[in-house]
């Protein structure tokens, strides 16, 4: 996916800002964070924030710091989620708790989260506007923690009777909330009116959900070289993905019990993971998830149809397509 040059250079500026901010802090507490952030990632959230700001006629400069704060928050959640899921790899390298142990990884996440709040409450915006922006961020962050909490509760309770509605509520927090925030905050900072802001929020929420569904699909059909996470990791972790939810509702008793048994075992054996994937395929669950993601993307694009034409809108539409076409 190719972003237009002005966004690309602004994203580089954000990278530079994040690195510089961290370099000012005590290395014994923050030292592992700059290399973690430098591993990259798609920077889709800050890109969406800038593009949303631009698409409503705003200036990227006004969204740079707020966009960086969202990317910092995203990285904070990755560090803690990796501990919670005991994931071994992130962006092709060992997760922080694998390298530094749980105590330091956990605290570095807390330090990062606290640092970004320091940045947020110190943004150079008129207090009345700043407080509104903070409330938007805080409410979205809350949904993220809740989405993660829901998923952990299902795993802990051994619940497999998760409905598609519950699944949607969970990814609504885990992914849609922050991507929706990126777009809405961008719109707000760009001076969007109520309607444009709401369109951007919906667009973001929808592509966020599509992003998560596609991520789950890639987790079992992807290529480690491109995806840079363990293939089948979601199966070992017993995740209730849309594919699993669909399959358990549709499969015969035998396949259903076998799938539950593999997911509950937290097995990392290739044979078990392959068998689980075969069951998902047999019942059309992977295709079902792909189609769901495509529908979400189609709706998302429609939602921003009335925004002014230009590079920013074109990129927003391209990102929506990328979300379901990506391989990493």
Binding site for a copy of itself (CB under 8 A): 26, 28-30, 80, 83-85, 100-104, 106-108, 110-111, 113-115, 117-118, 121-122, 127-128, 130-131, 134-135, 138-139, 141-142, 144-146, 148-150, 152-153, 155-156
Nearer of residues 149 and 284 to a copy of itself, judged by Cβ: 149
Q: Are 231 and 222 in contact (CB under 8 A)?
A: yes
Contact (CB, 8 A) for 68 and 120: no
> What is the nearest approach in angstroms of a copy of itself to the Cβ of residue 89?
18
Q: Is 87 left (phi over 0), alpha (psi -120 to 50) or beta?
A: beta
**Of the two residues 40 and 101, which places its CB atom closer to a copy of itself in the complex?**
101
Structure tokens at 11: 């994203």
Is the CB of 62 or the CB of 255 nearer to a copy of itself?
62
Nearest by Cα to 305 from 59, 58, 55: 55
Q: Which two tokens stand for residue 115?
A: 């640092």
CB of 75 to a copy of itself, least distance (A): 14
Return d(Cα 322, Cα 276) in angstroms, integer: 27
Residue 90's beta-bridge partner residues? 93
In terms of Cβ atoms closer than 10 Å to its own Cβ (0-12, 13-18, 19+), residue 183 is buried
The residue assigned the tokens 């990259």 is 40
Which pair of structure tokens corresponds to residue 248?
A: 């358990």
Q: Which is nearer to a copy of itself, 107 or 257 (CB)?
A: 107
Which residues, including other chains, have CB under 8 Å from residue 213's CB and lie 6 or more apart? 171, 241, 242, 289, 290, 292, 293, 296
Q: Which is nearer to a copy of itself, 22 or 307 (CB)?
A: 22
Q: How many CB atoms lie within 10 A of CB 137?
A: 21
**CB 230 → a copy of itself: shortest distance, Å?**
17
Whole-number Å distance between alpha carbons of 13 and 16 = 5
Q: How far is the CB of 22 from a copy of itself (least distance, A)?
A: 13
* CA–CA gap between residue 213 and residue 164 (Å, rounded): 12
Shortest Å, Cβ 108 to a copy of itself: 7
- Whole-number minimum distance, CB 36 to a copy of itself, in Å? 15
Nearer to a copy of itself, 144 or 243 (CB): 144
Least Å distance, CB 240 to a copy of itself, is 13
Q: Rank residues 156 and 194 by Cβ distance to a copy of itself and give the closer one.
A: 156
Q: Which is nearer to a copy of itself, 108 or 241 (CB)?
A: 108
Quote the least distance from Cβ 32 to a copy of itself, whole Å: 10
């Amino acid at each position: 996916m190719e972003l237009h040059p002005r966004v690309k250079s602004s994203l580089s500026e954000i990278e530079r800002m994040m690195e510089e901010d961290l370099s000012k802090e005590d290395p014994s507490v923050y030292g592992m964070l700059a290399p973690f952030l430098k591993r990259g990632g798609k920077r889709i959230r800050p890109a969406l924030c800038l593009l949303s700001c631009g698409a409503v006629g705003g200036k990227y400069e006004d969204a740079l710091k707020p966009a960086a704060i969202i990317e910092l928050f995203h990285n904070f959640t990755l560090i803690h989620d990796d501990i919670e899921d005991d994931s071994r790899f992130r962006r092709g390298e060992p997760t922080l708790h694998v390298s530094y142990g749980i105590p330091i990884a956990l605290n570095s996440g807390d330090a990062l989260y606290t640092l970004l709040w320091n940045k947020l409450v110190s943004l150079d915006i008129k207090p009345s506007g700043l407080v509104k922006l903070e409330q938007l961020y805080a409410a979205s962050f809350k949904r993220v923690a809740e989405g993660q909490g829901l998923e952990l509760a299902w795993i802990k309770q051994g619940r497999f009777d998760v409905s598609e509605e519950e699944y949607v509520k969970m990814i609504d927090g885990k992914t849609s909330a922050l991507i929706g925030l990126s777009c809405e905050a961008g719109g707000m900072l760009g001076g969007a009116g109520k309607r444009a802001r709401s369109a951007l929020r919906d667009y973001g929420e929808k592509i966020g959900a599509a992003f998560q569904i596609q991520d789950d699909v890639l987790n079992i059909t992807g290529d480690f070289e491109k995806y840079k996470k363990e293939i089948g990791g979601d199966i070992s972790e017993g995740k209730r993905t849309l594919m699993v939810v669909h399959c358990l509702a549709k499969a015969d008793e035998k396949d259903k019990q076998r799938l539950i048994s593999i997911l509950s075992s937290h097995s990392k054996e290739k044979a078990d993971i392959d068998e689980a994937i075969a069951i998902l395929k047999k019942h059309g669950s992977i295709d079902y998830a792909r189609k769901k993601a495509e529908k979400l993307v189609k709706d998302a694009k429609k939602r921003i149809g009335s925004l002014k034409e230009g590079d920013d809108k074109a990129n927003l539409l391209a990102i929506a397509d990328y979300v379901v076409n990506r391989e990493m």
